[in-house]
Structure 1
Amino acid sequence: MKKLFLLAAVGLSLLALSGHSALSPGSSVAASAFQEVTPTPTTTPEPTPAPSLTIEQDVTLVNDLDGDEVIDPGDTIKCTITYENTGKVDATKVTIVDDYDQALIASITEISSEGKEDGDTIIWDLGTVGAVASGSVTYEATLKDTFPPGSVSIENTVTIASNETASVSATNIILVKGPNLTVLKGKKLVKDLDADETIDPGDTIRYTITYENTGEVDATNVTIVDDYNQALIASITNISDEGGENGDTIIWELGTVEAGKGDLVTYEATLRDTFPPGSISIENTVTIASAEIEPASAQASILVEVAPTPTPQPTPTPQPTPAPKPIPEPVDEGPKAGIFAGYPLIPSILTGFLAVVATFVLVYVGACAKYSSDDEDKHELGRQRIAMVREGVFLIFIVSAILILAMGGGIAQDGAISILSGIVGYVFGREATRPR
């Protein structure tokens, strides 16, 4: 083939040089070389008919609590789900699943036929949906009364599927605008008993609570509740307007706080005079809430350091320095006063009495010595009398010695009397037992 084209080219060149046209009707070589070839057409196969499902959803407000025509917490909305089979054949075992936000929706009602609630989803078993057929299902959802602060998005996803088709989903987002209340709590020492610039038992603190609505919607029925530690706080005073004590809390009823507005409330707390020893933390929590949103809280802590009371140690008693004993000077006391001091006649009488007794004894002993008898009984009686006289003489000498010592002060008066009393008792006893 290449040779043919080469020969044709050479021939045409020769003809051009010779002045003849290569495209003249008489040129059979050229006509043969450039003859057009027509291609055979290819046939495209027709696609197999199949169903094609579509889905979309729409939301309308059916119960507007405050009549502002805006979806707010507590309102009820109606969800309408529209589906269609745009294919040329039927779709079998068609199901629709609606996955709603259970955290923000309080209840589901008015579910259309063939639908039922299952946990946090609603399921419709539609069976067969014919070619180019459509329909819709519905339900109503009531929102919770309170939402998180600020603007909150409610996301709702619906899915349609069949035996012949893959799942197809559609998502709808509802923006619920709400207030956003913030609260902060500060403290300041306003009465410092010991002027040490440290919070101690008995001091007074002023608490300042600052609040603001940073949301796009007004907050209604706003309240602030301060829960203080009654065990460590003795008294509450100077509560700002709209506030009042209620047990161990302080409550302010603020009403409506407009979007973008805020203010502050205050009170003073006096601590108790005595605290347990150690580090004591006074925790104080304040909470702000409204009809539309969940409460928000703030906390203020105070650390009070109380040193333990030291145990008193006994103070040792100093030992007294012994004073030097004075050396007594000898004193001439003179003659000691005896038992008969002040009675000068008594010693003379006693002396005379002793002399008489001695004379009597001597005479009596002599008489007994001269006495003799052949009678044995009388002789024995004489010996007994001599023995008694001897005993009496001995006692007389003892009494005489005691009296002499007592008169000279050698024996105390009580001692002398005791000895003499004993001797007298002995004498009377002997006399009572003497043989006659």
Structure 2
Amino acid sequence: MTSTSASARLNNRTIGLDRAAFALLATIQVTLIASITVITVALPAIQRDLRAGPRDLVLAASAYGSSFGGLLLLGGRLTDLLRPRAVFVAGLAVFGAGSAAAGLAPAFAVLVAARFAQGAGAALAAPAAMALLGDVAPGPGEQAQARAVWGILSSAGATLGTVLSGAVTSWVSWRWLFAGPVVVAALGVAAARRLPSTGADRSGRRLDAPGALLATAGLAALLYGLGSSVLAVLAGLVLLALFGLVERCSPDPLAPLPFLRSRALPLAATALCAAAMASAFYLLALYFQQVRGLSPLRTSLLFLVPAPALAAAGVLAGRLLPRVGVRRLLAAGPLVSAAGLLLLARLGVPYAGLLVFPLGAGVTFAAATVAATEDVPAGQAGLAGGVLGAAMEVGPPVGLTVLVAIANAHSGEAGPGYAVALRVAAAALALTAPLALLRRRTR
């Protein structure tokens, strides 16, 4: 009896340590994603204080996402070549330093440079955190549930960033928006010693420098150019095409094409759902303020409505995964998301959609994360995190560019055009459901 009790206490203590490590990684992930949207509502105040022009705001808004999305594949590769904990700590240090510089920026150019640095640090920390996730979960079942919860952290972070942006700028200076990331990064570096310091056998492996350069430049140019520069978009597409050619010839590619092909559906579902969420929240924010006349603070607070649905989605997906499998969840999530978007398209009463759509989006992200990371060898855990993050980052700017253009082209009035764009997004998401059902079962 004594031996059994001691064993149970030891087991509970081990599980507690795993949960503490997961909580640390989850907090970092939410903070990294929240930093993308945290200046959205604060842009007019930044423009006034730093004397920036209207076109400059596009650069301020896209600087973090451009470096974050552009460097994710490189960050994932470095995670696989080095120890994930070392890359995680280095990324947090760069992210924290960039956040401090942004909060203290005396000029607009300094703010933009600091946001680029923030994104570079996030591109190292995010795939490293995904690689560490497999080490802090004690078994296959726990890993699947942890990854299901992980899948909704990005949407939760984006919502949190939007809410904080409106709340903080309504009460204090926009500079305080960067205090939270500084504190979280510092705590993360201090607590990282509790994380496992393991790594796979990397003998004979090297960094694909040409592939890294082309992928980083191509993604950064594409993300920056969408909505602001056609030439940058074309340059990004050309660079990404060259990246594909280089990867075919490389003996040790940055992102092996068979690896990407086997995960094409969950990566596409992630990108589509992220695009739909970013576009829907953007259109609703404009509708609430331009048509309904709500203040920035009240508009931000409305985006707290999806929070319970997002939290429920993580729990629901974690429980359903062992019962129905990732394939059916990957079909159900987009269908529920599409239904939520159709409810949101009824702009006069969008509140039911603010609950249904996040529930479906959370299930989609959870199922896609599990599908994209299952059966990944230890030496490619960082790569899996990198490509999943890249899909999450590329989706929103592409979706915003396409759907806002559809909204503007359909009607001169905001409401009808926004409704059409939301219906188009719903149709695109619904099309992924039959593809998920046809997807071959994996282990």
**Superposition TM-score, scaled by structure 2 size:** 0.15
Structure in which a larger fraction of residues adopt helix: 2
Structure in which a larger fraction of residues adopt strand: 1
Larger RCO, structures 1/2 (Cα 8 Å, 6+ apart)? 2
**Superposition TM-score, scaled by structure 1 size:** 0.15
